[in-house]
Structure 1
Amino acid sequence: MEQYTCSFENDPFTLEKAKKEVYEIPSDRLAAVDCLRQWLNSQEHLVFKADTRMLLAFLRHAKFSQKKARETLEGYVKNFDEYPCWFRDLDPCSKKTDWILSKGYGIPLPGYDVDGRKVIFYKISSIPYNEIGKGKTIDVDDLMKVWVILGAYANSEERTQIHGFSLFFDYTNVTMKQLGMIGRDKIKEWNTATEDRLTGRLKAFQMYNIGALFEVMFNFIKPFMKKKFLNRIYVYETLEEVYKNIDKKNLPSEYLPDDYDGPTQGTFSEMAAKFKKEIQSEEWRKYYDSRFNSSFHVDNKKKNNGDAPTALFRKLNVD
């Protein structure tokens, strides 16, 4: 029988936040998991395996609404059929992913921000624009696959499933061409694949040094994003503004003031190299294989369209 121990059981702050914000009651936790597992096992059309921790991630994302958790889970499995280039075979050691990681495109910062959230830090200009495109070193889809890898890394931590995570983008030296290289169609598809199909509590988009490009960026994404996410966009013009949200000790050394004499994590390149070594370990490769297995899919021939979700645990509020 699978054994489960909550990793924040001795953290009163996170336990209280879990109770207030995602309606997680420790005494009911495993009963909710069993209910979701029984439903999953009855869905012959969903070719998918999930352990207790993974099912809990869906429940926390859904604020313990069984209906919402089931919808998200089914959408997650659909992604493997509809967007295989992003969700199938997520191997941190694959040739193109290795190249992107080596460039230091994105890293999870150590520790948490002032609100207790995990921060994924993207240095957009680290990938040369002329290296991206059909027939070049990497394609846009390769970058987006790394987005999935980094998001899954952050949300593997149960604490982050409660407190949420934020995305920090450094737009220093980014050009208009780089800003628009993803394209509207890709962004629209990305929103379909992530907004209601992936677990996690995305609490903020933090943009540093974007300058006059912000208006272009905002108008580009506005048609595709939910209002709640548009309201979570923050623009920082100076590093002093960044320091109010992210502790200096967790930032790369090139983002620190000259007179700073506290603990450091090293340069961005050094932090990226350290993260690359970690994420390419056998342990993490097994983790991604368990969460993004190439065998996951929807068998529509076995789908019972009359199946209606039952046991709607707790009222679902908007996150």
Structure 2
Amino acid sequence: MPEAEGSCTLSPELLRIAREELNEDPRRREKDIQAVREWLLKQPHLNARTDRQVILRYLRGCKFSLERTKAKLDMYYTCKGALPDMFQGRDPQNPKLRSIIKLGLMFPLPGYDPQGRKVIFGRLGAWDPSKHKPEDLFKAAGMLFDVMFLEDEQITITGIIQANDMTGLTLKHVAALPLPLIKRVSTTWQEGYPFRPKGVHYINTPQAFDALFNLFKPLMREKMKKRVHIHGSNIEGMCKFFSREMLPAEYGGSAGTIQEIADEWLRKMDEHRAWFLQDEKHKADESRRPGKPKTTADLFGTEGSFRKLDFD
């Protein structure tokens, strides 16, 4: 549950982690939140959210560096303004988005791993490129992240783990992902979201996996490259990192079926529909930015620069 205004509901252990790993000082917390809020309100080009929950999330994601927090918030709202395909029309009642969410391509598993981190399970070969636009896949994933942040404060402290089953992935899937889109998504998620990614696990990696991974790897930060674990077809290897009880029934777990979990997250998105519709107005207006407006080329490079990422 999120913190109430001006109070803290985190456990003593999570507060300790926040102090030791994120430089969070309870005596300074509200002053830092207010400093970021005042800065946001002074930016003529930003129509930003200024509620405590969002600002605190970014402060934690930036280890309470005010300058990094400001830069990341600016980047997030700038990306929102620059990428309408990802951030406009985020209505959970949209049939295209509903059909993607119901596929269970990505969903958080219940509970946490032994280190208290949230595990996000992905099935990246379970979509049909002839039926679904990749832009809509990433839009639905961003909506899931937002609901997760709204409902689960712990992840801002302990971070997330990704666990991906690549069954069904083909070169047709890889070819359907435009290289400029991959760059835009990677930049937005890495530079604009206050994630604390702690590791990525892959199982059932077919031949096409190498082609996909070679697209994303050049865009990954060096520390994340060291946190990638590939387990072949051995789910037991992945289960050394988190409990089998967290897994869907299809993987021998007791967390319910994939469809049940996907339907539960669709219900959560429906509950936040008003938030999503209202959130569309929160973005940057480059015509009002002091100094030189930022272009998509400034943010994501030009299409020609992506060609070196092509696969064999």
Q: Which amino acid aligns with 1:239?
A: I
CA contact (8 A) 1:57 1:200 kept: no
Corresponding residue for 2:264? 274
Corresponding residue for 1:76? 76
The CA distance in 2 between the partners of 1:125 and 1:299, in whole Å, is 36
The CA distance in 2 between the partners of 1:121 and 1:248, in whole Å, is 13
Q: Does 1:294 align with 2:280?
A: yes
Corresponding residue for 2:35? 35
Shift of 1:220: 2.1
Alignment CA distance shift 1:194-1:48 (3 Å):
same
Choose 32-41 or 80-89, whichever is displaced more. 80-89
Corresponding residue for 2:186? 191
Shift of 1:297: 3.0
The counterpart of 1:154, out of the listed 145, 148, 151, is 148
CA contact (8 A) 1:120 1:150 kept: no
Shift of 1:219: 2.2
Alignment CA distance shift 1:7-1:180 (3 Å):
farther
Equivalent residues in 2 for 1:105-120 (5 A)? Answer: 105-120=105-120
Q: Which runs of 5+ in 2 are unaligned?
A: 293-312
The CA distance in 1 between the partners of 2:168 and 2:145, in whole Å, is 25
Give 3-state SS (helix, strand or coil) of 1:120's partner: strand
Alignment CA distance shift 1:66-1:305 (3 Å):
farther
The CA distance in 2 between the partners of 1:112 and 1:294, in whole Å, is 31
The CA distance in 2 between the partners of 1:289 and 1:161, in whole Å, is 24
Q: Which amino acid aligns with 2:143?
A: I
Q: Which runs of 5+ in 1 are unaligned?
A: 132-137, 258-263, 307-319
Corresponding residue for 1:304? 290
The CA distance in 1 between the partners of 2:148 and 2:229, in whole Å, is 20
CA contact (8 A) 2:231 2:238 kept: yes
Q: TM-score, normalised to structure 2's length?
A: 0.85
Corresponding residue for 1:135? none
Q: Which amino acid aligns with 1:75?
A: M
Equivalent residues in 2 for 1:154-193 (5 A)? Answer: 154-156=148-150, 157-193=152-188
The CA distance in 1 between the partners of 2:95 and 2:136, in whole Å, is 10
The CA distance in 1 between the partners of 2:252 and 2:124, in whole Å, is 19
Shift of 1:214: 4.1
Report the aligned-residue RMSD: 2.0
Corresponding residue for 1:312? none
Corresponding residue for 1:313? none
Alignment CA distance shift 1:70-1:253 (3 Å):
same
Q: Does 1:285 align with 2:265?
A: no
Give 3-state SS (helix, strand or coil) of 1:192's partner: helix
Alignment CA distance shift 1:104-1:25 (3 Å):
same
Corresponding residue for 1:66? 66
CA contact (8 A) 2:166 2:209 kept: no
Corresponding residue for 2:249? 253
Alignment CA distance shift 1:40-1:129 (3 Å):
closer
Corresponding residue for 2:303? none
Choose 149-158 or 57-66, whichever is displaced more. 149-158
Q: Which amino acid aligns with 2:61?
A: H
CA contact (8 A) 2:81 2:285 kept: no
Q: Which amino acid aligns with 1:125?
A: G
Q: Which amino acid aligns with 2:203?
A: Y
Choose 80-89 or 177-186, whichever is displaced more. 177-186
Corresponding residue for 1:265? 255
Q: Deviations over 1:12-67 (max 9, x none)?
A: 22111111111111121111001111111111221223200001111111111110
Corresponding residue for 1:6? 8
Q: TM-score, normalised to structure 1's length?
A: 0.83
The CA distance in 1 between the partners of 2:124 and 2:190, in whole Å, is 22
CA contact (8 A) 1:155 1:200 kept: no
Q: Which amino acid aligns with 2:262?
A: A
Give 3-state SS (helix, strand or coil) of 1:166's partner: strand
Structure 1 runs of 4+ with >6 Å offset: none
RCO higher in structure (CA 8 A, sep ≥6):
1
Corresponding residue for 1:219? 214
CA contact (8 A) 2:126 2:169 kept: no
Give 3-state SS (helix, strand or coil) of 2:167's partner: coil
